[in-house]
Structure 1
Amino acid sequence: MAYKSLLTVLTDPKVSDSAMAQLVALAAAQDAHAEALCLGVDRTQTGYYYAGANAMILQETLERATAEAEATLAYAKEKLGNSGVRWSAEDGVAQIADLGRHVAYRARFSDLVVLPLPYGEGHGAEAEPIVEAALFDGHAPVLVVPDGYEPKGQPKTVLVGWNESVEAMTAIRKALPFLVAAEQVRIVVIDPPQHGPERSDPGGLLSQLLARHGVACEIDVLSKTMTRVSDILNRHAEDTGADMIVMGAYGHSRFREAILGGATRNMLEKSRIPVFMAH
Structure 2
Amino acid sequence: MSNVIACIDGSSAANGVVESAAWAASQMSAPLTLLHVIEEGHAAARQDMTGNIGLGSREKLLDELAELDARKSKLLLEHGHQLLEQAKQKALQQDNVTDVSMRQRHGELVESLLKLEPETRLLVLGLHGEDHSDGSHIGSQLETVLRRVHKPIMLCPDQFKAPQSAMLAYDASNSTKKSVELLANSPLFSRMPVHVVMVGADSETNQAELDWARKTLEQGGHDVETAIVAGDVEPALHQYQDQHDIGVMIMGAYGHSKIRQFLVGSTTTNMLEASKTPLLILR
Q: TM-score range by the shorter chain?
A: 0.7 to 0.9
In the aligned structure 1, how far is the partner of 2:42 from the partner of 2:262?
A: 22
Asked if 1:198 is matched to 2:209, the reply is: no
Deviations 1:209-244 (A, max 9, x none): 2222222211111111xx4x1222122111101111
Match for residue 117 of structure 1 among 114, 127, 130: 127
Aligned partner of 1:248 among 247, 252, 274: 252
SS in 2 for 1:112: strand
Matches within 5 A, 1:1-279: 5-43=3-41, 64=72, 67-81=75-89, 83=92, 84-94=97-107, 98-118=108-128, 121-122=133-134, 127-129=139-141, 132-133=144-145, 135-150=146-161, 152=162, 155-176=163-184, 177=186, 181-192=190-201, 198-199=205-206, 201-224=208-231, 227=232, 229-251=233-255, 257-258=264-265, 261-262=266-267, 264-279=268-283
Equivalent-residue separation in structure 1 for 2:170 and 2:207 (angstroms)? 15
Larger radius of gyration: 2
Structure 2 letter corresponding to 1:272 = K
The offset of 1:204, in angstroms, is 2.0
CA–CA separation in structure 1 for the residues paired with 2:31 and 2:65:
39
Q: Secondary structure at the match of 1:164?
A: coil
Unaligned runs of 5+ in 2: 52-61
Residue 255 of structure 2: SS of its match in structure 1?
Answer: coil
Q: Residues 166-193 of structure 1, C-alpha deviation per residue, up to 9 Å, x if partnerless?
A: 4433444444425751431111011138
Give CA-to-partner distance per residue, 1:20-49, whole Å, 9 cap, x none: 112122323433211011112222799x98
How many Å apart are 1:130 and its aligned residue? 5.2
Whole-Å separation in 2 of the counterparts to 1:255 and 1:234: 13
Structure 1 residues 265 and 174: alpha-carbon distance in aligned structure 2, compared to 1, 3 A threshold: farther
Tell me the SS of whatever aligns to 2:250. Answer: strand
Gap change, CA 1:175 and 1:212, over 3 Å in 2: closer
Other-structure match for 2:59? none
Check whether the contact 1:44–1:61 (CA below 8 A) recurs between aligned residues.
no
Change (3 A) 1:4 1:277: same
Query: Which moved further from structure 2: 79-88 or 166-175?
Result: 166-175
1:114/1:142 contact within 8 Å kept: yes
> Identity of paired residues, percent?
15
Of 174-183 and 202-211, more deviation after overlay is shown by 174-183
Distance 1:101 1:257 in 2: 21
TM-score by length of 1: 0.76
Q: What SS does the corresponding residue of 1:257 show, helix, strand or coil?
A: coil
